[in-house]
């Protein structure tokens, strides 16, 4: 008993003040990309050729955050002259076309659906489905339940059954072998319901695009309401998306 | 004992012509004779070469050994005589339609059509997208009941199917059927644009991104004679150990939660994030994606990063020690962990268990000590083997490894070595060559194998996650255990679904 109390005192209070307090992520974290459209054409072409995800559109000088795995190859090659990554982790969008960006993003709060806020603003129960996910996205969703983030204080929980859920959170490139189970989970969720796609794989197939064993984007199978980019998205990106879209 | 297998080293590229290409009978005889006397299977797979299908085995005892042979369409199963071949023979049957006659449990591993468009060994119709639509091991009897769990589970975890045959609360048999995460990785890798290779490999199992990146990078380095400087080796070691700590800490928290002892569950959950954040500090990604690349690492340790890491390790080490102590000395935790889900050493040997699960059952094998690469040759990695093989042993092994890894990192941070960060570079791989790399990832022996063709293109990329050995260990742990102890046992192994499903 003494041991339990001593540990409790050791641990102290660890929950973040976000969103009321700002959080500064470390300098090497790569969040929202910033694009210099005036960069020399050859630098842009070099970045596009080196991008492992082919996420750079040369003619429009745009980057597809749905494909991007935020590896920073383009930033390194262009030495920041074309693309640089900021520490801004608030990068989720509600329309897929907004993922293809020149660095600017619409404010998510302005695009969230008002009826979702009304329905789920005080209580949101989510069912997570991993459909070919590599366990990185899953882990960084799971971490929202730990004391630092403490998702439950906002009335948001991950629940054990789709019958208890207001929506599903899907990770992974939707492997063929998981498609039926995913659709059944979606059907089992009570309407009205939301669908949230988390991570590069669920957005576009991610690193596995081109494989015949997956779907390239959850939105080709289900109507998606919220797109959270990253490989995996930082837990704060997930938290920001949920709070801004539903609160 | 003399065999015709060739002795090789971890991460050493050799010309394929040097690998003994035996008659099938000699291959079969030698492979069995090595594994029967305590040898283990690192790889056993099929590949296509100029229209012919061939088999290759990488085995280990105190050394690594390799040989190949032409693959017959049908051959007498090795599993029926020697258990460690079990999953490998099923995988070969699924990928290359080669039937091991007399295999005691010939069933698909992942549910996909074979690579050669040959008639399916299992008679599956792959236009049906339901891998659960198959037979399971059954038990007959008046009071027997079956419990089917998954693929979608009650937590935020990956999908898989568990089929229990029970009498009352007692589990007679648990069969685990995976394949739901199959993304076609091995079929994809040979033809893929080389710039995509690291990103795909790191995404095979994202909780082991550093381990996967390391296996791939070491293989490419061996095939292209790239040198890695000492500083980069040290950063790789720090990253691999941080990955081990973060996952072990998280798992101890989950174990604690499963026996309803909530304080450590919460503390470990938070501290796991602290360790992931150290990896974030080094490379900008919490899982170490984008850190390890052929030739070195993409990020160096600046003086500022090194100091912050040092401070955080210094601050966290006593906290971790105290919470491990809190967990493992609590009487109610001990009564739940002790004797729960024991796997005997004899069973562990036959299943070929690796990593912490193997060490908990008395198998001290650790790649870092037995086949060290990079900086590990200079470190003193202890044995950690336990005798009881139960949840308590698996938890204790994890706890000890956390503290050992903290020591390793502290030591490495204390001795700054310069390195330069590298970018993904174009490399040409040696033609007609072979390399196998092994690393002790947090779940155990992770191994990649690359074969190149006459033009230096990847002919076959074979991936083996440690979980490929260990899932049947979980089945064995559940024998004669109460079904309500399944979650606890499952967490004590915490195996990878996507690493197996590929």
Tell me the shortest Cα–Cα distance from A142 to chain B, in angstroms: 6
Tell me the shortest Cα–Cα distance from B204 to chain A, in angstroms: 6
Lookup: tokens for B106:
């010939």
Neighbours of B374 (CB within 10 A): 20
Q: What pLDDT is recorded for position B311?
A: 94
Q: Which fold has domain A109-246?
A: Rossmann fold (3.40.50)
Lookup: tokens for A236:
């704060």
Residues of chain A positioned with their CB less than 8 A from the CB of B180: 131-132, 175, 177-178, 181
CA atoms within 13 A on the CB side of A152: 7
Q: State the DSSP string of A171-202.
A: ES--BHHHHHHHHHHHHHSPSS-EEEEEHHHH
Backbone φ and ψ of B453, nearest 5°:
-95, -175
Q: Is the peptide bond preceding residue A19 cis, with omega within 30 degrees of 0?
A: yes
User: Over the stretch A34-60, which tens digit does the pLDDT of each residue have?
Assistant: 999 888 999 999 999 999 999 999 888
Lowest mean pLDDT among A128-137, B117-126, B183-192, B470-479: B117-126
The dihedral of CA B31, B35, B36, B39: what is its sign? positive
Q: What ipTM was estimated for this complex?
A: 0.93
Measured distance CA(B436)–CA(B422) in Å, rounded: 23
Q: Is the peptide bond preceding residue B297 cis, with omega within 30 degrees of 0?
A: no
Residues of chain B positioned with their CB less than 8 A from the CB of A25: 280
Measured distance CA(A6)–CA(A4) in Å, rounded: 6
Average of per-residue pLDDT across B155-172: 91
Measured distance CA(B334)–CA(A155) in Å, rounded: 34
Q: Are A200 and A217 in contact (CB under 8 A)?
A: no
Q: Do B206 and A141 touch (CB under 8 A)?
A: no
User: Over the stretch B65-106, which tens digit does the pLDDT of each residue have?
Assistant: 999 999 988 889 999 888 899 999 999 999 999 999 999 999
Substitution target from B129, B180, B319 for chain A, most A beta carbons within 10 A = B180
Neighbours of B452 (CB within 10 A): 24
Q: What is the DSSP letter of B338?
A: T
Average of per-residue pLDDT across B194-222: 95
Tell me the shortest Cα–Cα distance from B412 to chain A, in angstroms: 21
Tell me the shortest Cα–Cα distance from A213 to chain B, in angstroms: 5
Average of per-residue pLDDT across B6-19: 94
Nearest by CB to B195, which of A11, A50, A135?
A50
Nearest by CB to A71, which of B131, B199, B263?
B199
Helix (H, G, I), strand (E, B) or coil at B111: coil
Q: Do A172 and B131 touch (CB under 8 A)?
A: no
Measured distance CA(A131)–CA(B44) in Å, rounded: 28
Which residue in B has a C-alpha nearest to residue A171's C-alpha? Answer: B158
Is residue B309 over pLDDT 80?
yes
Tell me, rounded to whole angstroms, the distance of Cα B91 from its chain centroid: 15
Nearest by CB to B203, which of A134, A141, A160?
A134
Radius of gyration of chain A (CA): 19
Residues of chain A positioned with their CB less than 8 A from the CB of B203: 134, 136, 201, 206-208, 231
Q: Is the peptide bond preceding residue A100 cis, with omega within 30 degrees of 0?
A: no
Banded pLDDT at B380 (limits 50, 70, 90): confident
Measured distance CA(A83)–CA(A63) in Å, rounded: 9
Which residue in B has a C-alpha nearest to residue A170's C-alpha? Answer: B156
Q: Are B427 and B226 in contact (CB under 8 A)?
A: yes
Tell me the shortest Cα–Cα distance from B49 to chain A, in angstroms: 22
User: Over the stretch A140-197, which tens digit does the pLDDT of each residue have?
Assistant: 999 998 888 999 999 999 999 999 999 999 999 999 999 999 999 999 999 899 999 9
Q: Do B284 and A29 touch (CB under 8 A)?
A: yes
Helix (H, G, I), strand (E, B) or coil at B259: coil
Give the CA-trace dihedral at B390, B370, B446, B91, to 10 degrees: -80
Q: Do A210 and B329 touch (CB under 8 A)?
A: no
């Amino acid at each position: 008993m003494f041991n339990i109390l001593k540990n409790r005192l050791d641990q102290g209070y660890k929950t973040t003040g976000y969103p009321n307090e700002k959080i500064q992520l470390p300098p090497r974290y790569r969040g929202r990309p910033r694009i210099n459209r005036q960069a020399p054409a050859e630098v842009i072409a070099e970045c596009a050729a080196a991008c492992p995800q082919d996420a750079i559109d040369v003619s429009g000088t745009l980057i597809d955050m749905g494909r991007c795995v935020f590896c920073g190859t383009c930033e390194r090659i262009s030495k920041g002259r074309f693309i640089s990554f900021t520490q801004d982790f608030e990068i989720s969008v509600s329309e897929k076309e907004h993922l293809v960006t020149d660095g600017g993003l619409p404010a998510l709060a302005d695009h969230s659906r008002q009826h979702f806020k009304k329905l789920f603003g005080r209580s949101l129960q989510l069912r997570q489905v991993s459909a070919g996910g590599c366990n990185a996205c899953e882990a960084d969703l799971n971490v929202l339940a730990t004391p630092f983030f403490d998702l439950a204080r906002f009335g948001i929980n991950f629940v054990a059954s789709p019958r208890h859920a207001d929506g599903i959170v899907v990770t992974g490139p939707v492997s063929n072998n998981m498609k039926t189970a995913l659709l059944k989970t979606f059907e089992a969720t009570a309407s009205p319901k939301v669908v949230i796609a988390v991570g590069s794989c669920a957005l576009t197939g991610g690193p596995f695009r081109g494989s015949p064993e997956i779907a390239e984007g959850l939105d080709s199978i289900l109507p998606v309401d919220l797109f959270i980019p990253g490989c995996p998205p930082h837990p704060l990106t997930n938290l920001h998306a949920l709070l801004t879209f539903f609160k | 004992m003399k065999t015709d297998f060739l002795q090789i080293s971890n991460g050493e590229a050799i010309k394929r012509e040097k690998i003994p290409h035996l008659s099938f009978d000699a291959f079969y005889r030698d492979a069995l004779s090595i594994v029967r006397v305590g040898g283990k299977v690192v790889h056993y797979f099929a590949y296509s070469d100029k229209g012919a299908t061939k088999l290759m085995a990488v085995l280990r005892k105190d050394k690594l050994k390799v040989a190949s042979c032409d693959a017959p369409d049908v051959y007498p199963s090795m599993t029926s005589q020697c258990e460690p071949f079990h999953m490998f023979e099923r995988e070969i049957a699924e990928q290359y339609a080669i039937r091991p006659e007399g295999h005691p449990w010939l069933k698909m591993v992942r549910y996909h059509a074979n690579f050669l468009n040959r008639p399916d060994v299992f008679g599956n119709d792959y236009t049906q997208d339901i891998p659960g639509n198959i037979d399971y091991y059954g038990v007959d009897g008046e009071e027997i009941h079956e419990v089917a769990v998954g693929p979608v589970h009650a937590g935020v975890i990956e999908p898989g199917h568990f089929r229990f045959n029970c009498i009352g609360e007692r589990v007679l048999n648990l069969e685990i059927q995976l394949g739901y995460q199959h993304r076609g990785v091995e079929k994809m890798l040979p033809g893929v644009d080389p710039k995509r290779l690291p990103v795909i490999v790191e995404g095979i199992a994202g909780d082991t991104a550093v381990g996967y990146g390391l296996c791939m990078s070491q293989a490419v380095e061996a095939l292209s004679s790239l040198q890695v400087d000492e500083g980069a080796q040290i950063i790789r070691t720090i990253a691999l150990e941080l990955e081990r700590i973060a996952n072990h800490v998280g798992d101890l928290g989950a174990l604690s939660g499963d026996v309803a002892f909530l304080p450590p569950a919460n503390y470990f959950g938070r501290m796991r994030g602290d360790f992931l954040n150290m990896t974030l500090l080094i490379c900008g990604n919490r899982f170490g994606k984008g850190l390890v690349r052929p030739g070195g690492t993409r990020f160096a340790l600046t003086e500022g990063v090194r100091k912050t890491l040092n401070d955080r390790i210094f601050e966290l080490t006593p906290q971790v020690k105290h919470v491990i102590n809190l967990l493992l000395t609590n009487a109610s935790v001990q009564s739940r962990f002790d004797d729960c889900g024991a796997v005997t050493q004899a069973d562990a040997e036959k299943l070929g268990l690796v990593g912490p699960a193997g060490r908990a059952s008395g198998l001290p094998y650790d790649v870092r000590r037995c086949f060290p690469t990079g900086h590990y040759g200079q470190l003193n990695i202890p044995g950690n083997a336990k005798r009881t093989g139960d949840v308590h042993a698996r938890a204790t092994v994890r706890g000890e490894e956390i503290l050992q890894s903290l020591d390793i990192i502290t030591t490495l941070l204390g001795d700054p070595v310069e390195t330069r960060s590298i970018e993904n570079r174009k490399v040409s791989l040696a033609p007609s060559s072979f390399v196998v790399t092994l690393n002790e990832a947090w779940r155990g022996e992770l191994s990649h194998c690359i074969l190149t063709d006459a033009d230096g293109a990847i002919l076959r990329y074979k991936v083996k996650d440690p979980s490929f050995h260990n899932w049947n260990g979980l089945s064995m742990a559940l024998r004669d255990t109460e079904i309500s102890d399944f979650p606890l046992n499952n967490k004590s192994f915490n195996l990878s679904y996507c690493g197996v499903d590929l």
